[in-house]
């Protein structure tokens, strides 16, 4: 698991080391210089002879960059330092002694123009303008400098390599927001541990490749992270794998109330996601047309009421009042009375305005940004889709606190929030996943995982939940999002690490569902 810690937690972990006179800055600077050299080699450049521009603000980040510049100069780089704040005295002395050419722009009438001139013939830009203590948008003149460099980078995307120190300057360090201009990085070298803004959207999209430099912050090992990202090993540990003594009821039975006469395909897609995820049975309850379609595609689906361990309610059901929405409401009331975990998607979310107001964390909501905005507005928090897109983590957490439920906010990076505990941010998907019906598949997958743990989550098994069992629904939702994203990449013909962009081939929602077993084979071995 990748764990991100807040700026305050990182500073608290640093305090005893600084009191003991541990050379944190020297360690960080050496790591930064090493990562800059590695970035040059990855792009096919020699380290010796490369031109490096240090963008140096005040504070410790600027000190890290200046000491790193001294290391690089001794390795043969031609290093320039543009000072845009009060420079760290020790770092400046070390850089000057090593032959770094220092350009003091603190009193320059046009610092943005001067920086652009230096940047024009530099192969690497090291962004050390502000660190994790910064809050809000960059102030002038840094805002103009960053805006000019970002424009230059956008016009020449194959130009200089940008390496950010700790975080790209200007991002919301703890919440992943973009309050003002930010210089997108190719690599972010973060000290001690990732910061939340490096995992959370939209800022995470500007961080590039995140590399953690170990500076000895061992105190963070026992600290509760602010944001987590599950890895393949975490999913392998969580995923229910049947043994010789299992049968269809012990593997999990999912009740599915999805689809309508208007949107019958949603029922097929949700069933496909659930079945490919590996549960024992799907029970589908719906009108004649979607029932016929589900049976035509999946004859193993049972279309009569009976025992279930979890429910998926709402895919393909419109938010407007109808007979079908009434059926969803009745199913939700029954599921809550039986203490069964539930996934609420699409039309089922409209029930949370006034009717169902106090939910347990075993209810997982799966909205997109527009649906989350509507839900929050209905609960008295006037919110637009743009508000949610600008601060996904904040609004997902707010919805979890207001409703009591676990919230899976769908997006290029999927954010999962419970009323307490860490956020989860999963970014395995490809842009091709933004296609109709993909959310129905994901709802079925989340429901299948909840069904696999359904009796445990309902408290009906002997023994207590594990010590972190209160956060289990959020972890299961994040695990489903990870596999959903990897299945999309498999369907698109993509391999290796997830990267931004449109590589690969188009996929449909059913392609994604069909690729789930292959994605699981790669994880489960």
Which residues define the annotated binding site? 60-64, 127, 131-137, 166, 169, 266, 316, 368, 410-414, 439-440
Cβ(84)–Cβ(142) under 8 Å?
yes
For residue 163, give the H/E element and its range: strand 161-165
CA neighbours closer than 13 Å in the CB half-sphere of residue 184: 18
Q: Which of 257, 277, 270 minimizes the C-alpha distance to 440?
A: 270
Which two three-digit tokens encode residue 357?
Answer: 């107001």
Annotated binding-site residue numbers for K(+): 61, 127, 169
Annotated binding-site residue numbers for (6S)-NADPHX: 60-64, 131-137, 166, 266, 316, 368, 440
Annotated binding-site residue numbers for AMP: 410-414, 439
Which two three-digit tokens encode residue 477?
Answer: 């939702």
Q: Which of 159, 146, 83 minimizes the C-alpha distance to 112?
A: 146
Helices (H) and strands (E) in the chain, counts: 17, 17
Q: Which of 315, 297, 306 minimizes the C-alpha distance to 257?
A: 315
Q: For the packed helices 472-491 and 265-277, what is the interaxial angle rounded to 10 degrees?
A: 100
For residue 407, give the H/E element and its range: strand 406-409
The Cα 415–Cα 175 span in angstroms is 12
**Maximum separation of any 2 CA atoms in the chain, in Å:** 81
The Cα 315–Cα 278 span in angstroms is 20
CA neighbours closer than 13 Å in the CB half-sphere of residue 525: 5
Cβ(288)–Cβ(297) under 8 Å?
no
For residue 81, give the H/E element and its range: strand 78-83
């Amino acid at each position: 698991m990748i764990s991100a810690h807040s700026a305050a937690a990182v500073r608290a972990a640093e305090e005893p080391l600084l009191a003991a006179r541990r050379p944190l800055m020297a360690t960080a600077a050496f790591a930064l210089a090493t990562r800059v050299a590695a970035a040059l080699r990855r792009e096919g450049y020699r380290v010796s002879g490369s031109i490096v521009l240090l963008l140096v603000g005040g504070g410790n980040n600027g000190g890290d960059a200046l000491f790193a510049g001294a290391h690089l100069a001794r390795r043969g780089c031609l290093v320039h330092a543009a000072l845009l704040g009060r420079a760290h005295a020790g770092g400046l002395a070390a850089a000057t002694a090593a032959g770094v050419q220092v350009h003091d722009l603190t009193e320059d009438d046009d610092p943005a123009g001067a920086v652009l001139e230096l940047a024009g013939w530099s192969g690497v830009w090291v962004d050390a303008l502000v660190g994790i203590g910064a809050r809000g948008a960059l102030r002038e003149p840094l805002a103009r400098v960053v805006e000019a460099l970002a424009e230059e980078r956008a016009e020449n995307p194959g130009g200089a390599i940008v390496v950010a120190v700790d975080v790209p300057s200007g991002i919301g360090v703890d919440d992943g927001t973009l309050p003002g201009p930010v210089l997108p990085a190719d690599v972010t070298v973060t000290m001690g541990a990732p910061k939340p803004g490096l995992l959370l959207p939209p800022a995470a999209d500007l961080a590039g490749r995140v590399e953690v430099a170990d500076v000895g912050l061992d105190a963070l090992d026992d600290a509760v992270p602010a944001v987590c990202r599950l890895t393949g090993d975490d999913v392998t540990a969580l995923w229910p794998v049947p043994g010789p003594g299992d049968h269809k009821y012990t593997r999990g039975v999912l009740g599915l109330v999805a689809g309508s006469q208007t949107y019958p395909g949603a029922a097929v897609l949700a069933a496909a996601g659930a079945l490919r995820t590996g549960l024992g049975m799907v029970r589908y309850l719906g009108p004649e047309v979607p029932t016929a379609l589900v049976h035509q595609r999946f004859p193993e689906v049972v279309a009569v009421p009976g025992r279930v361990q979890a429910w998926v309610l709402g895919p393909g059901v419109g938010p407007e009042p109808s007979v079908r929405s009434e059926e969803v409401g009745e199913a939700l009331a029954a599921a809550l009375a039986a203490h069964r975990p539930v996934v609420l998607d699409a039309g089922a979310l409209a029930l949370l305005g006034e009717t169902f107001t106090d939910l347990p964390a075993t209810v997982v909501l799966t909205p997109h940004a527009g649906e989350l905005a509507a839900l929050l507005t209905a609960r008295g928090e006037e919110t637009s889709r743009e508000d949610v897109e600008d601060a996904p983590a904040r609004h997902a957490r707010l919805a979890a606190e207001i409703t009591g439920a676990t919230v899976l906010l769908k997006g290029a990076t999927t954010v999962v929030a419970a009323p307490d505990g860490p956020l989860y941010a999963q970014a395995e998907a490809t842009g091709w996943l933004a296609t109709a019906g993909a959310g129905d598949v994901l709802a079925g997958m989340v429901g299948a995982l909840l069904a696999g743990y359904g009796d445990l989550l309902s408290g009906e098994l002997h023994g207590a939940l594990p010590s972190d069992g209160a956060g289990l629904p959020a972890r299961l939702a994040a695990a489903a999002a990870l596999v959903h994203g990897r299945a999309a990449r498999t369907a698109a013909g993509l391999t290796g690490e997830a990267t931004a962009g449109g590589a690969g081939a188009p996929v449909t929602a059913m392609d994604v569902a069909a690729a789930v077993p292959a994605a699981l084979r790669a994880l489960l071995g």
